[in-house]
Amino acid sequence: MTRPQMPNAYIPGTTPLPPEDEARIRRRATLLGPAYRLFYEEPLHITRGDGVWLYDRDGRAYLDTYNNVASVGHCHPRVVAAMAQQAATLATHTRYLHDGILDYAERLLALFPPELSHVMFTCTGSEANDLAFRIARAATGGTGMIVTDNAYHGVTLVTAEASLSLGPAIAPGPTVFAIPAPSAANYPEGIAGGFATAVTTVCAQMAAQGIKPAALVFDTIFSSDGVLPDPPGFLKPAAMAIRATGGLVIADEVQPGFGRTGQHMWGFQRHGVIPDMVSLGKPMGNGYPTAGLVLKPQVIAEFGTNARYFNTFGGNAVAAAVGLAVLDVIRDEGLMENAATVGTAFAEGLRNLATRHDAMGETRAAGLFLGTDIVNNGQPDATRAARIVNDLRQNGILISATGPRGHTLKIRPPLPFSLENIDQFLTTLDRVVARL
């Protein structure tokens, strides 16, 4: 049986585990079925989180350098208090008048360029992208979706079929067209121009098949494509290229949004592009499932006239209270600024380490979203990357790997990460890589 793998997934039967964990894993398989995966050769049994720390059942602390959902810190007391208070008062949906959703919408939209002046609420990033795809089709009359060749955009039928990182088991949708991700390796003549030309070329291929473009959709940090933030501005010509064919620009901010990239609240702002729609998720509720789609009014005019939208839990009163608390914490604790300064120091530290270790290649970063390539004789080495990820886990530090070849360390801690946390990370990584 072939099982679609993700980098450093636990593979049953390969690592001797304590009997209680073997039993737990069997129970999971019995109850949850075969599609779920666990992180790490030796899976973790986490029972508590606090700030940048996760604790296992024995109370051992792990430095969380991976979770961008608990972006303002695990179990942040202000977020938990807002959630509990609203849940104890009222938990209804968007078909009643309620000020919470309006107060939150106002605060959220104030963080966007004025052209993006509507927000619709969902529960997950997948739903936000799915909604964006539906609206793009209605607004343009087209169906063609352009994605990068190792993209991930979600679990619904349409978004999974636009997520080539899921591997060959999930066939791309009939109107999904992939282009090479915007890396220097894919576009040696220049990322900005090359990526825009790829958009134009693929639109011509669509036209030859009688398909009209609906949208170009990209994660603005290209996380599953290996973390590709630079050079800032490279998305601008691609946005112009899709618009020249009548298609829209959808920025997926599910990973980089809410201040993680440091200089800006949203990844698209690094590129000087104003998308037509922006999907939000993961960090939006710091663990409470809330997500959304911010959009230009003109793109929803057609869809909104002919279709109605109701999402039972999207934008519920608790979600709005939580979302507002997350924005308060980001502002009051200066977390975006922290992502900028600590992220710069982190990238520098990784690059310094690479001068002493041949196994460490390029580091690409924006704020607290970092990717470091692991190589062997200069060639991508996913096995080494997985070794490092697992050894870090054994040494109390959590990260993962990403990219089309699985050789990029994906480093993405909660935003209150400190210089002291970086020291611990780099000292441990130094030791782990030296032992390869």
Ligand X SMILES: Cc1ncc(COP(=O)(O)O)c(C=O)c1O
CA atoms within 13 A on the CB side of 126: 12
Which residue from 128, 235, 134 is spatially nearest to 181, judged by alpha carbons? 235
Compute the CA torsion angle 255, 428, 346, 418 (nearest 10 deg): 80
Backbone angles phi, psi at 12, to 5 degrees: -50, 135
Which amino acid is located at 356 in the chain?
R
Sequence-distant (≥ 6) Cβ neighbours of residue 108 within 8 angstroms: 119, 292, 294, 323, 327
**Six-digit token pair at 320?**
């709005």
Joined together, the tokens standing for residue 107 give 């605060």
CA distance 131 to 135: 6
Question: Given the rule CB under 6 A, which of 131-139, 150-158, 347-355, 381-389 is the region that contacts ligand X?
Answer: 150-158
CB nearer to ligand X: pick between 150 and 175: 150
Does position 153 interact with ligand X (CB under 6 A)? The reply is yes
With respect to ligand X, which residue has the nearer C-beta, 6 or 25? 6
As measured in angstroms, the least distance from the Cβ of 244 to ligand X is: 25
Report how far residue 42's alpha carbon sits from residue 18's, in angstroms, rounded to the nearest whole number: 10
121 vs 319: CA distance, rounded Å: 9
153 vs 364, which CB is nearer to ligand X? 153
Which of 10, 133, 152, 177 is in the footprint of ligand X by CB under 6 A?
152
**Least distance (Å) between residue 127 CB and ligand X:** 7
CA gyration radius for the chain? 21
When the beta carbons of 281 and 323 are compared against ligand X, the nearer one is: 281
- Tell me which of 21, 219, 276, 391 binds ligand X, using CB under 6 A: 219
Stretch that binds ligand X, among 5-13, 107-115, 125-133, 383-391 (CB under 6 A): 125-133
> By beta-carbon distance, which residue lies closest to ligand X?
125
# chain residues binding ligand X, by CB under 6 A: 15
CB of 250 to ligand X, least distance (A): 11
In whole angstroms, the minimum distance from the beta carbon of 180 to ligand X comes to 18
126/143 with CB nearer ligand X: 126
Please choose, out of 151-159, 192-200, 342-350, 427-435, the segment that lies near ligand X by the rule CB under 6 A: 151-159
**Residue 220 engages ligand X in binding (rule: CB under 6 A):** no
- Return the DSSP state at 173: P
User: Distance between CA 215 and CA 190 in Å, rounded?
Assistant: 23
**Using CB under 6 A, which residues numbered 233 to 292 contact ligand X?**
252, 254-255, 281, 291
Least distance between ligand X and beta carbon 32 (Å): 16
Q: Answer for the pair 146, 213: CB distance below 8 angstroms, yes or no.
A: yes
Instruction: Specify the stretch interacting with ligand X by CB under 6 A; choose among 120-128, 228-236, 335-343, 406-414.
Output: 120-128
- Crossing angle for the helix pair 317-332 and 77-87, to the nearest 10 degrees: 160
Whether 126 and 305 have beta carbons less than 8 Å apart is answered as no
Q: Is the dihedral of CA 171, 173, 174, 176 positive or negative?
A: negative
Structure tokens at 222: 């290209």
Q: Which is nearer to ligand X, 219 or 373 (CB)?
A: 219
Q: Does 225 bind ligand X (CB under 6 A)?
A: no
Nearer to ligand X, 73 or 285 (CB): 285
* Shortest Å, Cβ 92 to ligand X: 23
- Range in contact with ligand X (rule: CB under 6 A) among 90-98, 121-129, 243-251, 368-376: 121-129
Biggest distance spanned by C-alpha atoms of the chain:
62
What are the C-alpha distances in Å from 310 to residues 94, 122, 137, 436?
A: 8, 9, 19, 53
Q: Which of 167, 368, 343, 142 is nearest to 242 (CA)?
A: 142
Specify the residue, 254 or 324, whose C-beta has the smaller distance to ligand X. Answer: 254
Q: Which of residues 291-320 bind ligand X (CB under 6 A)?
A: 291
Does position 154 interact with ligand X (CB under 6 A)? The reply is: yes
Under the binding rule (CB under 6 A), the answer on residue 155 touching ligand X is yes
Span near ligand X by CB under 6 A; candidates 7-15, 139-147, 152-160, 394-402: 152-160
Cα 361 to chain center, whole Å? 23
Closer CB to ligand X, 153 or 387, in the complex: 153
Contacts with ligand X, 129-148, as mask; x by CB under 6 A:
x-------------------
Q: In whole angstroms, how close is the CB of 254 to ligand X at the nearest point?
A: 4
Point out which residues bind ligand X (CB under 6 A). Answer: 124-126, 129, 152-155, 219, 223, 252, 254-255, 281, 291
